[in-house]
Amino acid sequence: MYTITSVLQILSSEHYFLADDSWTISELVYDSRKIRDVKESVFFAIKSSRDGHQFIADAYDKGIRSFVISDIGFSISPYPDANFIWVEDTLKAIQALAAVHRKQFDIPVIGITGSNGKTIVKEWLYQLLTAEYNVYQSPKSYNSQLGVALSVWNLQADHTLAIIEAGISRPGEMEALQQMIDPSIGILTNLGTAHLEGFSSKNDKLIEKWKLFKHATQILFSSNYVPDAKSIRSGFTWGTNESDDFRILNISTDHAGSKITARYQQEEIDFVIPFQDKASVENAITCIIVMIQLGYDFSVIEQRIKGLKPLEMRLQLKKGKNNCSIIDDTYSNDLASLQIALDFLNQQNQHTQKSLILSGFADAKFTTKIMDKLIRLLNNQLLKRVVLIDRSLFGIITAINSEVLCYESTAELIADLPRIDFSNEAILIKGARKFHLEEVSQQLVEKSHDTVMEINLKAIESNLIQYRSLLRKDVKLMAMVKAFSYGSGGFEVANVLQFNKLDYLTVAFVDEGVELRKAGVTLPIMVLSPHEGTFDDMITYQLEPEIYSKRILNAFLQFLADIQFVDYPIHIKLDTGMHRLGFMANEFDDALITLQKSPQIKVVSVFSHLVASGDTTQKEFTAQQIQEFKTLADRLESGLGYPVLKHICNTTGIVNWPDAQLDMVRLGIGLYGIDLSDNGLHLESVSTLKTTISQIKKLNKEETVGYDRKGVLKRDSRIATVKIGYADGYDRRLGNGIGKMMIAGQIVPTIGNVCMDMCMLDITDITAHEGDEVIVFPDLIQTAKDIETIPYELLVGISSRVKRVYFYE
Ligand SMILES: *Cc1c(COP(=O)(O)O)cnc(C)c1O
């Protein structure tokens, strides 16, 4: 057990103030929104895209009384009963604690690094080893400088094996991760393209990743990814070379999966896995050799590998019956992932009422300590109702403040579902895999059709963080959520942005803003194209119009005067070259005079839009736009006599014209994972459009496929019909081989014309089966180029009949 004094010792700081030195610590907190157990927490004021010192007051209000901070000048006088420790660097401090905690454990610790596959290998090893070990695995995506510290800190005394992921994005980052994880078994999954991860060469990247293995007694990797394997790097290798320890002799795939034939110490062995794609085969081989290293018999390995399960999407947000939102997280259950899921439940502002359906935990060791934490965690939420499944949870019933229902089994709950009134609420369904709570979710969710767009809300958050890091100090951030957030969702996306404390949201029309308000979004919202007929709603729902012409200005002023409104927030749009909406320079003086004598309004911001911020051949024009904007904006501000926010940058402007970030920027397409500026940002892709194969046909040479006989077969072929057509937003120009889709990692072209609800693919060269999943846009940017459009059009064109499925992982 740690106390504030032991923390002080570990951090060996000489600058501190201890009001209560008996304060015990089990949780490390860096985000004041994510505090759950104030009694045992210490708050670290970490400086990342935001300065954690700003949130000390909030953390204090919530009850935290121990802080590790770095600002020398920070005044602690408002917090007389709190502990403060000053350190040079708070991130390093949290890492130092994790490293000390790690030293308490003398168990196998598997450290995984590599460009891809880390999470799958981690989760699969968990599936494979959990019968013998009490396995700890780092929560998904907790693999960064801070994430690793938090995951190592979560190691508990009863764990007998740990699997922890290490992710780096630039040189110099691995050393700190090594000190915290200090793996005894090191795994390198693979090595992707160097420039994608901020390294100048593959070798530099390899050298950096290898630092994780400093004290590892076993290092497992593939000779495919490591040049001069063996001669330079020692370890246990797999690959097709004579010298590999685990030598792959053959890999064959059929509809059921893949068979891997390998030689290990004179013995030839076959492993069958239920996957066909190359990445899964590689990840499975990595798991096999880990099991060999841990001393498992081949018969056991074979048996378990055969039963590997694909990773399911976690934390899916789905539309439920009776106007509910269902968060489906039915794959694992432990305190850490429950906390993450409850955070996500809390973000669902579209419902004021929230319920939780909770199964027993995955591992049987449900100690009183865990139970106490669970009770505190649940009582910290404003839950209307808690549904418990499994006797192991019954001990907490009386301690829970909400209404509690309890069942011995999932089947019992399902039988009782019709009697529980779930309506107008957000329901988190959280359970360990063996409880099969997905059956509960199926009952509560509205049925959706086979073509879906999957939206990764966590990726939006991650992209946001990257753009934030590009912003100069104190620059505000406005996110464009117009056109259903570029096709990615309404309140689902807005809730994430609000949780991440954005400054502004922007929609195109009043209706879009009204939808967000009805769903409980409270951030200020600007409306780009207001018109007279919607002023009523504008005011009722507190939306702020872009005022772009004298006509709309006068109309709005008149409207406000009639209802005697003063100081209504508005935004002035200047036209500096787009020639779309906005006051031109020669209309400016006139507009300013009107604004000056109109107490009805208050100008919150003035802005303009860059025409070609991403086009290097138009630099001069862009510079001129920025100059003209600044001049006019300054005149507006001095003419009004009060400060007005100035903004002109869109996504590519933020990157290419950092000097023009001014007071605020307007982030659009970058948030949704599309980087058009070619500057090495590591954006995560947000949306994936998926469909399925309805039928496969064998056809002979010279037969034709589809309307007007456009798809003429040049050879005997196999043709797959998939359930997406131009009515879903799959552009007709993508027919006849222009469009490419992906099936199990393999790219195939369209054939023939795209139909209204379907189209056909030529799958002659690949293995595919009816019912297989198809990724519709494996490369959105390229696809857009192929039909001479831009990714924006493809994204927003995906029809509303394509169901959106949201997940957060
Ligand atoms: C859509 C829009 C943006 C965002 O543009 P991106 O290129 O998607 O970043 C910014 N400002 C205005 C006025 C817009 O209409």
**Strand, coil or helix: 164:** strand
Cβ of 668 below 6 Å from ligand 1 = yes
Atom in ligand 1 nearest the alpha carbon of residue 482: 1
Domains annotated for the chain, with CATH where assigned, are: 2-92 (3.40.1390.10), 105-305 (3.40.1190.10), 315-447 (3.90.190.20), 454-672 (3.20.20.10), 687-808 (2.40.37.10)
**Partners of 747 in the beta sheet?**
742
Atom in ligand 1 nearest the alpha carbon of residue 508: 15
**Cβ–Cβ under 8 Å, residues 361 and 435:** no
Residue 578's pLDDT is what?
95
Atom in ligand 1 nearest the alpha carbon of residue 486: 8
Determine how many CB atoms are found less than 10 A away from the CB of residue 662: 21
CA 57/CA 63 separation, integer angstroms: 10
Sheet holding 27-29, edge to edge: 16-17, 83-86, 66-69, 41-44, 27-29
Cβ of 673 below 6 Å from ligand 1 = no
Cβ of 571 below 6 Å from ligand 1 = no
Residue 492's pLDDT is what?
94
Cβ of 656 below 6 Å from ligand 1 = no
Residue-wise DSSP of 96-161:
HHHHHHHTT--S-EEEEESSS-HHHHHHHHHHHHTTTS-EEE--TT--SHHHHHHHHHT--TT-SE
pTM beyond 0.85: no
| Helix H or strand E segment including 602 | strand 601-607
Ligand 1 centroid, distance to 587 Cα (angstroms): 23
Atom in ligand 1 nearest the alpha carbon of residue 546: 13
CA 529/CA 321 separation, integer angstroms: 34
Characterize 72-108 residue by residue with b for buried, 16 or more Cβ atoms within 10 angstroms of its Cβ, and e for exposed.
eeeeeeebeebbbbbbeebbebbbbbbbbbbeebeeb
Cβ of 463 below 6 Å from ligand 1 = no
CA 374/CA 392 separation, integer angstroms: 12
Cβ of 507 below 6 Å from ligand 1 = no
Residue where the block lists tokens 């003209």: 628
Characterize 609-628 residue by residue with b for buried, 16 or more Cβ atoms within 10 angstroms of its Cβ, and e for exposed.
bbebbbeeebeeebeebbeb
Averages of pLDDT over each 10 residues, the chain, 809 residues: 92 93 90 80 89 93 94 94 96 96 96 89 92 88 90 92 92 94 95 65 87 94 82 85 94 84 94 85 95 95 89 80 92 83 89 95 76 90 93 91 94 93 95 90 80 92 91 95 92 94 96 94 96 94 97 96 94 97 96 96 97 93 97 97 97 95 97 82 89 95 95 96 96 96 91 97 92 91 94 92 86
According to the 3-state scheme, what is the secondary structure of 401-430? Answer: CCEEEEECCHHHHHHHHHHCCCCCEEEEEE
Ligand 1 centroid, distance to 625 Cα (angstroms): 15
Ligand 1 centroid, distance to 668 Cα (angstroms): 5
Residue nearest to atom 12 of ligand 1 (CA): 609
According to the 3-state scheme, what is the secondary structure of 640-696? Answer: HCCCCEEECCCHHHHHHCHHHHCCEEEECHHHHCCCCCCCCCCCCCCEEEEEEEEEE
Ligand 1 centroid, distance to 648 Cα (angstroms): 9
Residue 363's pLDDT is what?
67
CA 40/CA 738 separation, integer angstroms: 59
Cβ of 761 below 6 Å from ligand 1 = no
The residue to mutate among 574, 646, 650, 662, having the most atoms of ligand 1 within 8 angstroms of its beta carbon, is 650
**Cβ–Cβ under 8 Å, residues 724 and 776:** yes
Determine how many CB atoms are found less than 10 A away from the CB of residue 576: 28
Q: Is 112 left (phi over 0), alpha (psi -120 to 50) or beta?
A: beta
Atom in ligand 1 nearest the alpha carbon of residue 613: 7
**Cβ–Cβ under 8 Å, residues 459 and 317:** no
List active site positions. Answer: 482, 707
Residue where the block lists tokens 């846009």: 777
Ligand 1 centroid, distance to 546 Cα (angstroms): 13
Cβ of 664 below 6 Å from ligand 1 = no
**Cβ–Cβ under 8 Å, residues 43 and 32:** yes
Cβ of 320 below 6 Å from ligand 1 = no
Cβ of 651 below 6 Å from ligand 1 = yes
**Cβ–Cβ under 8 Å, residues 537 and 543:** yes
**Which backbone phi and psi does 801 adopt, to 5 degrees?**
-75, -15
**Which backbone phi and psi does 450 adopt, to 5 degrees?**
-70, -20
CA 553/CA 550 separation, integer angstroms: 5
Sheet holding 109-113, edge to edge: 135-137, 161-165, 109-113, 185-188, 218-222, 236-239, 246-254, 257-264, 267-273
CA 467/CA 248 separation, integer angstroms: 43
Ligand 1 centroid, distance to 480 Cα (angstroms): 7
Q: Is 461 left (phi over 0), alpha (psi -120 to 50) or beta?
A: alpha
Which amino acid, one-letter code, is at 250? N
Cβ of 666 below 6 Å from ligand 1 = yes
> Which residues, 6+ apart, have CB-to-CB distance to 224 below 8 Å?
190, 239, 240
The DSSP symbol for 632 reads: H
**Cβ–Cβ under 8 Å, residues 71 and 45:** yes
Q: How far is CA 207 from CA 29, 211, 233, 244, 669, in A?
A: 32, 7, 10, 21, 35
Ligand 1 centroid, distance to 330 Cα (angstroms): 38
Ligand 1 centroid, distance to 507 Cα (angstroms): 10
Ligand 1 centroid, distance to 504 Cα (angstroms): 13
Residue 707's pLDDT is what?
95
**Partners of 602 in the beta sheet?**
569
CA 139 to chain centre: 13
Residue nearest to atom 10 of ligand 1 (CA): 650
CA 361/CA 401 separation, integer angstroms: 20
The residue to mutate among 485, 497, 506, having the most atoms of ligand 1 within 8 angstroms of its beta carbon, is 506
Cβ of 669 below 6 Å from ligand 1 = yes
The residue to mutate among 470, 505, 526, 609, having the most atoms of ligand 1 within 8 angstroms of its beta carbon, is 609
Cβ of 605 below 6 Å from ligand 1 = no
Which amino acid, one-letter code, is at 37? D
Residue 116's pLDDT is what?
81
CA 491/CA 523 separation, integer angstroms: 12
Cβ of 650 below 6 Å from ligand 1 = yes
Q: How far is CA 403 from CA 338, 354, 384, 631, in A?
A: 19, 11, 6, 61
> Which residues, 6+ apart, have CB-to-CB distance to 186 below 8 Å?
110, 111, 113, 212, 213, 216, 218, 219, 220, 235
| Helix H or strand E segment including 516 | helix 510-518
Residue where the block lists tokens 């989760």: 123
Residue-wise DSSP of 768-782:
--TT-EEES-TTHHH
**Cβ–Cβ under 8 Å, residues 672 and 468:** no
The DSSP symbol for 330 reads: -
Ligand 1 centroid, distance to 610 Cα (angstroms): 9
Cβ of 480 below 6 Å from ligand 1 = yes
CA 114/CA 137 separation, integer angstroms: 17
Residue 201's pLDDT is what?
81
Residue 129's pLDDT is what?
95
The residue to mutate among 464, 477, 480, having the most atoms of ligand 1 within 8 angstroms of its beta carbon, is 480
Which amino acid, one-letter code, is at 267? E
